[in-house]
């Protein structure tokens, strides 16, 4: 089937045939993927596996299905309109609506950046014994240099390399343990919320379906610079985008699942309680061999750096959208958005007493903001005025509303659990 997929000649914008050409369009989805294999995910998934075994694997499956639906839909917004989610909100909703939702999205971006930077800092502490505050500063400086001096194309290639390293690291870790794959398979599809697990459930949800990724995907999908005046081009790019999104999200599903499975097989099976990532790393050594702990730390470092880059980009996109502007590293609004996301998160790290708990809570904050972003997206992509002929089909809108309802319901359960 792929042999019949058409590609776009950049010179004359006319479609040409060729299956391998689709590889040119793989990239935006992987930048989104690295956002949900970030250190916040590591903390949430390790806590899920260590405390509840395979039981919460279903949440990774459900979250990934919802993620594919949401990311595919928001990418359509970017392709069909040439606007990112933040720009579209500013242009097509009342100021009090757009500013409130985008303001909360910036808070979510800061929460995301906190998890990413903190994870990278923890990895540096594991590898080199650097104090977390100092390590966090090193991560922010490196990420800032990457964002402010490198082109998008180079960053994309680096991110893809990081995702590959993280994936290979977990394949290596899994090869060292015995897995009850039948039990894991059942847990992937059978929902269960054990007593005391709702915080972890919501952390896993917020760690996979991340608000900042919806803003980021709608922005970076436009990096291919397609001819939006040619309907045939748009239709083909929508097909390319779906392949990119589907493949990338499934990679993320596999890596997140591997984290829970590894924690379940190594920690839950032995009754070990994990309260920090450093502890998880140190415990992997005696259980799986000396190299396992080092591989764990290196993968965490790459995850922290890569996801810090994407969270900074998302912050820049959200903030510039408040001024009806696209993300542009040369523009002051985009630069300020990046700085607000990264520097605010860095400041918070200096006052955090429990890094592991902070990672989990940061993901919970994302799940709380998520319904606002989802329903904003539904409104925009279901609007004929915004999307034109590419407006959501009624069935798509119903599915999107169902996703929004599930996320809202889980947030209500979280709220109830506090009383």
- In tens, the pLDDT along 257-271 reads 988 998 888 888 777
Burial per residue of 326-364, b for 16 or more beta-carbon CB atoms within 10 angstroms, e otherwise = bbebeeebbbebbbbbbebbbebbeebeebbebbbbbbb
State residue 357's pLDDT score: 78
Backbone angles phi, psi at 177, to 5 degrees: -120, 160
Maximum mean pLDDT: which of 64-78, 169-183, 194-208, 358-372: 64-78
- For residue 95, pLDDT over 90 is answered with yes
- Write out the two tokens for 354: 């429990």
- For residue 181, pLDDT over 70 is answered with yes
- For residue 19, pLDDT over 70 is answered with no
State residue 21's pLDDT score: 52
The better pLDDT of the pair 28, 377 is held by 377
User: What is the distance between the alpha carbons of residues 203 and 368, in angstroms, rounded to a whole number?
Assistant: 10
Question: Is 0.85 surpassed by the pTM of this model?
Answer: no
- In tens, the pLDDT along 191-219 reads 888 888 887 888 787 767 788 888 988 88
| CATH of region 30-417 | 1.20.1740.10
State residue 12's pLDDT score: 42
- For residue 26, pLDDT over 70 is answered with no
The percent of residues above 70 in pLDDT, for the chain, comes to 80
Q: How confident is the model at residue 20 (pLDDT cuts 50, 70, 90)?
A: very low
Q: What mean pLDDT is reported for the chain?
A: 81
User: What is the distance between the alpha carbons of residues 237 and 226, in angstroms, rounded to a whole number?
Assistant: 8
State residue 258's pLDDT score: 87
User: What is the distance between the alpha carbons of residues 196 and 52, in angstroms, rounded to a whole number?
Assistant: 10
User: What is the distance between the alpha carbons of residues 49 and 235, in angstroms, rounded to a whole number?
Assistant: 42
- In tens, the pLDDT along 115-139 reads 889 989 988 998 899 999 999 999 9
- In tens, the pLDDT along 55-64 reads 999 999 998 9
- In tens, the pLDDT along 393-417 reads 999 999 999 999 988 888 887 777 7
State residue 16's pLDDT score: 43
**Mean pLDDT value across residues 45-74:** 90
State residue 312's pLDDT score: 93
State residue 24's pLDDT score: 53
- In tens, the pLDDT along 135-176 reads 999 999 999 988 888 655 676 677 777 777 777 777 777 787
Q: How confident is the model at residue 275 (pLDDT cuts 50, 70, 90)?
A: low
Q: How confident is the model at residue 3 (pLDDT cuts 50, 70, 90)?
A: very low
Q: What contacts 20, CB < 8 A, 6 or more positions away?
A: none
């Amino acid at each position: 089937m792929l042999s019949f997929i058409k590609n776009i000649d950049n010179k004359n914008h006319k479609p040409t045939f060729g299956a391998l050409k689709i590889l040119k369009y793989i990239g935006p989805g992987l930048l989104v993927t690295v956002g949900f294999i970030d250190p916040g995910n590591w903390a949430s998934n390790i806590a899920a596996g260590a405390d509840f075994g395979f039981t919460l694997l279903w949440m990774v499956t459900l979250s990934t299905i919802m993620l594919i639906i949401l990311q595919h839909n928001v990418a359509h917004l970017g392709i069909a309109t040439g606007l990112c989610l933040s720009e579209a909100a500013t242009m097509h909703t009342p100021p009090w609506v757009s500013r409130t939702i985008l303001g909360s999205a910036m808070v979510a971006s800061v929460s995301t950046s906190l998890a990413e930077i903190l994870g990278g800092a923890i990895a540096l502490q594991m590898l080199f014994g650097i104090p977390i505050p100092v390590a966090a500063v090193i991560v922010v400086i490196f990420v800032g240099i990457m964002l402010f001096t490198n082109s998008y194309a180079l960053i994309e290639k680096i991110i893809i390399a990081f995702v590959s390293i993280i994936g290979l690291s977990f394949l290596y870790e899994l090869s060292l343990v015995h897995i009850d794959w039948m039990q894991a398979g059942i847990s992937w599809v059978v929902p269960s919320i054990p007593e005391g697990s709702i915080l972890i459930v919501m952390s896993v949800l917020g760690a996979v379906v991340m608000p900042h990724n919806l803003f980021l995907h709608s922005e970076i999908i436009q990096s291919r610079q397609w001819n939006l005046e040619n309907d045939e081009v748009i239709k083909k790019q929508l097909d390319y985008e779906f392949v990119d999104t589907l493949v990338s999200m499934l990679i993320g599903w596999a890596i997140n699942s591997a984290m829970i499975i590894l924690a379940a097989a190594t920690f839950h099976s032995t009754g070990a309680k994990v309260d920090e990532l450093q502890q998880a790393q140190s415990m992997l050594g005696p259980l799986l061999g000396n190299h396992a702990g080092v591989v764990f730390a290196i993968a965490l470092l790459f995850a922290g750096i890569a996801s810090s880059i994407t969270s900074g980009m998302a912050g820049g996109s959200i903030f510039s959208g408040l001024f009806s502007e696209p993300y542009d590293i040369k523009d002051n609004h985009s630069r300020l958005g990046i700085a607000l996301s990264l520097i605010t998160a860095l400041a918070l790290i200096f006052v955090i007493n429990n890094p592991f708990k902070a990672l989990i809570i940061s993901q919970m904050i994302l799940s709380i903001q998520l319904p606002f972003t989802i329903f904003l997206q539904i409104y925009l992509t279901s609007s004929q005025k915004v999307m034109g002929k590419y407006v959501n089909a009624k069935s798509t809108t119903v599915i999107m509303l169902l996703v929004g309802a599930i996320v809202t319901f889980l947030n209500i359960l979280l709220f109830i659990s506090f009383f």
